[in-house]
Structure 1
Amino acid sequence: MLSRRDFINLVIKGAILGNFYELVTPPLAQAVAAGEITKLPVVMIETGTCTGDSISLDNIWTPTFSDIITNIVEWRYDCTMNQVQGDTAYGILQETYEKMPNEYVLLVQGAMIQRDDGHYNHVAHDKGKLITGLELVRRIGLKAKYVVAIGSCATYGGPVSGYPNPSHATGVQNILPELRVINVSGCPAHPDWIMGTLLHLALYGEPELDKFGRPKLFYGETVHNRCPRRRDYDQGIFATEIGQKTCLFRVGCKGPVTYADCPIRRWNDRFNWPIGCNTPCIGCTEPGFPDLMSPFNAHSPDIPFPGGTKVASDTIGLGVLGLTSVAIVGHVATSLYKGRIQKNLLTSSVKGKYPPSIKKVKTFHQYRVKKLPNKE
């Protein structure tokens, strides 16, 4: 069976060469056939979402999604892919919950809708009773071996939790505070990120996570660090409008504060990615997306530095690269973690006050991810 180091090397090599699953699947299938590992039971619950992560996952390239679920994981329940409906489908979910405690992985797609006890989001029907996403995720999650939130909505609330957040939407971690939730963020999450995380769980258990609960093997570096236009940034060659083929930092690119391996993994059969088609990175993998990253095509004219100093974006280029890059990432990451940016952003959008007709609900800056407890 592959060692953990070999697996991580194949993840990176597969991203660069565009054949991640072709590299990883054969040895894993052999390990399953030899009894070295058992298929990992998986159930997916979809809550307040657009189903974008299911569509993304179904677009896994060679080998196909069906190859993965046939050879590596046991995909037991998924409301968008079930071959049965109604009580029969729900019975499979109940059987997994009752007979396989601490064995299965719960995947959650979509934000947790909390308003009115979650009754704006029903995901199942049991003997005449409508089951909310909030209730089902908590019930199934507490008996899961691992809980994996996929997509921006499930991880940190995403667009569903945008200001003024009338549904009181939030991420999975906030309704399962006693567990460590693995966050596979993105809008949508890349299929490699989702299935790669599942494969790591099947082989080696929980991957190394960053402070926001994301697997470092996919979210270990900023988009900026791996961007093929980094040289333009270093030399101060900036696009003045979207569509130009130089660094897009000054037209809104959030790459310096966004952690993901999009530059090497890319999308649509490794064909392209946002910067590859001359549009800025919008920071969809980060906590606070989309409010924190909006407007997507505008760059803040001044970057506040520690100590109160400010550097205009015009000065960013060769000669100030190191200091500026560290300051941007450090300030924004610190402000994000402490919630200052979100608070200022959300309150300034309504001139410092919430409209009197809107009850003050918890916005993302009050839901920021804290240090996660160790899972026994």
Structure 2
Amino acid sequence: MKNKSERFIYIKNHDVTTIIINHEYSRSYEPMEKAVKTDFFSMDRRTFLKVVGAIGASAFLGLHQTEITKALELSKTKIIWLHGAECTGCSESFIDAANPDVVQAINKLSVEIVYHETLLAQQGIFVNGSPANTSELNSEMLLDEAIEEGGYVLVVEGSIPNGPEGSGKYLMIGERTFKEIFGKAAQNAAFIVAVGACAAYGGITCGDSDIVDLTDFRGVAFQKEDPSKGMLKELNIDKPVINIAGCPAHPDWVMLTLAAAILGKIDVNSLDGVVDEYNRPLVFFPAGNTMHDNCPRRGYYDTGRLDTDFAGPQCLLKVGCKGPYTRSDCGLRKWNGGVSMCTQAGSPCISCCEPGFPDSASPFYQMPEGQPLMASASAGTIAKVGAGVAALGVTAHAARRIVFNKDEEKKQE
């Protein structure tokens, strides 16, 4: 049975129909429908963030295609996309986006990706240790020329090694360290978007190991939860940074963040109220909600039915799901064109959107005993007592969310 406060919103635009499920924190169908139909240019920031958070990249770019085209017909936003220590998974996620696909999004947003190692045709050509030929063929020259021109958005994927001993030589591109390349690109950028857990917080490259201090991988503005150890701080560079967490990052999170900044719907130089304490956009990583809140298996948790092995249909808490500790809208937005998500496909959430990942979520497939879940309940308590405690936790959690959302609305008014 549906919750009485739950609403289904159908937004049809040409061949795209978006279905939104708004739970108790959404008022009703009418306000969102009105906001969606509002002229793009008359939207205030609050309305804009609500709409893009709810309807996703495809519906937003489709609904407002005409207005976006008019706004950008005389402009061109340049993007330099750098790859540090990473697996290119975030680029693959971005490229695999559908409705719109990456080419459609680039065209609609009037974006020019000047440099992206995975996509560009140029090569790094050296003769006697020096770059040769021209920027039309040589990627090293292309990058240097683009940095020299300035006025671009810098997207960083992957972490930046500071070791050994501050040299950055654990990642060399051609004759230069990635630390040096990043520093030059960051200095001339309008603002920086760190895409994925590695660029945002160091990610897997910062995981606990015998060599972690020697390699000293850093995120752009953070090393795990520590902002004093971000690479920008190391290089004494002050630039606005938006962190798109995740391993990989959802293409909607990347596209809509870039769209909001390019279209002037967020002021990158004044991000208060737009990002959280870890520079994540609140619209995708809400402070008052977790991935667990909208998990398709949530009903099993509420009644205390927890799987003890993989491949079962019930709540995955006892096999290591970290959904209750993870801020993300995965449960609503889903992945692969809105088809599925980790817990729906049978995998516990590994909390890849949190700045302490992977250490804070390790071991991935074991329940974190004693760590508080919602109100006063813990994973161990719920596992032992079952449905009664689960129901109590849910009631307390719902009350906390109502209070939180009322407080948030007062702040935004």
Question: What TM bracket, shorter-length normalisation?
Answer: 0.7 to 0.9
Instruction: Name the residue aligned to 1:209.
Output: 275
Instruction: Name the residue aligned to 1:354.
Output: none
Instruction: Name the residue aligned to 2:155.
Output: 107
- 1:230 CA displacement: 2.4
User: Aligned to 1:272, what secondary structure does the other structure show?
Assistant: coil
Does 2:220 align with 1:172? Answer: yes
Q: 2:58 aligns with which of 21, 45, 60?
A: 21
Instruction: Name the residue aligned to 1:52.
Output: 89
Q: Which moved more, 1:67-76 or 1:104-113?
A: 67-76
- 1:270 CA displacement: 1.8
* Runs of 4 or more above 4 Å deviation: 34-37, 308-311, 322-327
Alpha-carbon distance in structure 1 between the residues aligned to 2:72 and 2:204? 43
- 1:304 CA displacement: 6.1
- 1:110 CA displacement: 0.5
- What is the one-letter code of the residue matched to 2:276? D
Alpha-carbon distance in structure 1 between the residues aligned to 2:50 and 2:365? 35
Contact 2:194 2:244 in 1 (8 A): yes
- 1:9 CA displacement: 3.8
Instruction: Name the residue aligned to 2:315.
Output: 247
- 1:318 CA displacement: 1.5
Q: 1:234 aligns with which of 302, 307, 310?
A: 302
Change (3 A) 1:266 1:304: closer
User: Aligned to 2:253, what secondary structure does the other structure show?
Assistant: helix
Does 2:129 align with 1:63? Answer: no
Contact 1:46 1:108 in 2 (8 A): yes
- 1:7 CA displacement: 3.5
Alpha-carbon distance in structure 2 between the residues aligned to 1:97 and 1:288? 32
Instruction: Name the residue aligned to 1:330.
Output: none
- 1:37 CA displacement: 6.9
Give a deviation string over 1:92-151, Cα, whole Å, max 9, x none: 322332222xx211111101111121112123x4xxxx1211111122112211111111
Alpha-carbon distance in structure 1 between the residues aligned to 2:116 and 2:377? 51
- 1:22 CA displacement: 4.1
Contact 2:68 2:108 in 1 (8 A): no
Does 2:255 align with 1:195? Answer: yes
- What is the one-letter code of the residue matched to 1:11? V
Contact 1:158 1:290 in 2 (8 A): yes
Q: Number of matched residues?
A: 314
Contact 1:242 1:251 in 2 (8 A): yes
Instruction: Name the residue aligned to 2:392.
Output: 319
Instruction: Name the residue aligned to 1:38.
Output: 75
Change (3 A) 1:135 1:25: farther
User: Aligned to 1:70, what secondary structure does the other structure show?
Assistant: helix
User: Aligned to 1:75, what secondary structure does the other structure show?
Assistant: strand
Instruction: Name the residue aligned to 2:225.
Output: none
Instruction: Name the residue aligned to 2:168.
Output: 118
Q: Scaled by the length of structure 2, what TM-score is found?
A: 0.70
Alpha-carbon distance in structure 1 between the residues aligned to 2:47 and 2:283? 12
- 1:84 CA displacement: 2.2
Q: Which moved more, 1:251-260 or 1:61-70?
A: 61-70
Q: Which moved more, 1:178-187 or 1:42-51?
A: 178-187
- 1:195 CA displacement: 1.1
Alpha-carbon distance in structure 2 between the residues aligned to 1:37 and 1:240? 58
Q: What is the aligned-residue RMSD (CA, Å)?
A: 2.6
Q: Scaled by the length of structure 1, what TM-score is found?
A: 0.76
Q: How does 1:198-347 map to 2 (within 5 A)?
A: 198-203=258-263, 204=265, 205-206=267-268, 208-220=274-286, 221-303=289-371, 312-313=381-382, 314-315=384-385, 316-321=389-394
Alpha-carbon distance in structure 1 between the residues aligned to 2:46 and 2:355? 28
- 1:269 CA displacement: 2.2
Contact 1:111 1:171 in 2 (8 A): yes
User: Aligned to 1:42, what secondary structure does the other structure show?
Assistant: strand
- 1:33 CA displacement: 3.8
Instruction: Name the residue aligned to 2:118.
Output: 80
Change (3 A) 1:172 1:325: farther
Alpha-carbon distance in structure 2 between the residues aligned to 1:70 and 1:210? 30
- What is the one-letter code of the residue matched to 2:140? Y
Give a deviation string over 1:4-41, Cα, whole Å, max 9, x none: 445434423424xxxx3243246256434455773321
